Structure 1
Amino acid sequence: MNRLVSIFALGFLLLTQACQPASSIQINEDSPPADESLTDEPSPPADSTPQPTPTPGSTPQPSSTPEPLPPVRIVAFDGNLYIRRGPGTEYNRIGLLKKGESAQVVGRDILSKWVQVIIPESERTGWVSLLTPFTKIEGDLSQIDSFTFTDWPQPAYIKNCTEHDMIIEPVSLYLYNLYANSVYRNEAQVDPGTYDIYDLFLPDGPLIQTVDIREGETFYITVDGNGTEHLCP
């Protein structure tokens, strides 16, 4: 009897559980599951500095370099040309341009018709006159800078200390004898250079000597055409 009651109770329990409704589960298919492997990081702030707007045609263009002008040269085309230390015949001779030779012009004297040149086969400079008919310029002389040469020359002199009148060539400079007068007409200033001295007291005016005078020098004529020596006071 007890066995029958137990079977009946078990069957009743199973029947009541089968009749209960299942709990509803809602699934939202539109929302994908969150990715747990990613973490939210703060985004860097946007750069608020205004950026320059490129202007069309503002790119600088390279400037063209002008071609250098050809060098200016002076030519000794019809004779020899002396090169002097400064722009004038009062300066020493320091070189020579022979006929047909040329030199590069590097300067001009603003006060005279002289040009500064590079002495051929050297690194020194000197001056050549444009007033002689033996010079010719090749090139545009106006492109050469001009300046004032301020290294003034030292004067040179020839003094006659004899009792005979003398003449100095090639400048035809007449020098009276020492006792002719007292106003220094027996002395004269000359440019540096080479001079021939002739005795005018003797027939045919013989050549006494040839001298080379430089800046700052004074040459004393102490011997006449007869070979007589004199002292300068």
Structure 2
Amino acid sequence: MPLPAPAPPEASAVGLEPIAVELPRPMFEGTPRPLDEPNVEEPLGTLRPPFLAPEGTVNLAHRRPVSSSDPWPVIGELEAVTDGDKEATPGSFVELGPGTQWVQVDLDTTAVIYAIVVWHYHLQAHVYRDVVVQVAEDPDFTLGVTTVFNNDHDSSSGLGVGLDKGYVETFEGKLIDCKGVEGRYVRLYSQGNTSDDGNHYIEVEVYGQPVP
């Protein structure tokens, strides 16, 4: 089992608190690094520390509409991406076809986004390739586009060279610090994984607050 998480860091400003990320059941022990996979970060060996955000920060993606680059998913329905079910079990995920694919969440309003958490598929210790996460003001991603995460180290998906590291999927998901970027639409790309060429999504959570 993972070691306990470190104690929450002291808030550097009044009004910060840990976001409440509910985690699914762990499905395997440890986080082995896949062999021969470049640009992969070393596992922490413990649960990640709590993430602090302003009071009132919530998951704005819950039950919000999801669209995709693949109109006919191989397995599952796109609604699974924001339904709150994070378990790595049948019926809890959607699988898109091979190649570079994306899912997109419409938050329904422009928001200040502090963190995004994504679970691809944590039944086994996969590494998903070319994970790129962007935020924009419009659904076509032509206005106010900001890239908040990119581990495509060779730009094989055509979205630019990323400086972020790949990572092993675990039940914690991947938390991305978005540093208060503003936008309405969140798009997440991937291009297969270390086990097969499928693109899987169990859940996407977007923590923020609507812009007044």
TM-score for the superposition, normalised by structure 1: 0.22
Query: Which has more radius of gyration?
Result: 1
Structure scoring higher RCO (CA < 8 A, sep ≥ 6) equals 2
TM-score for the superposition, normalised by structure 2: 0.23
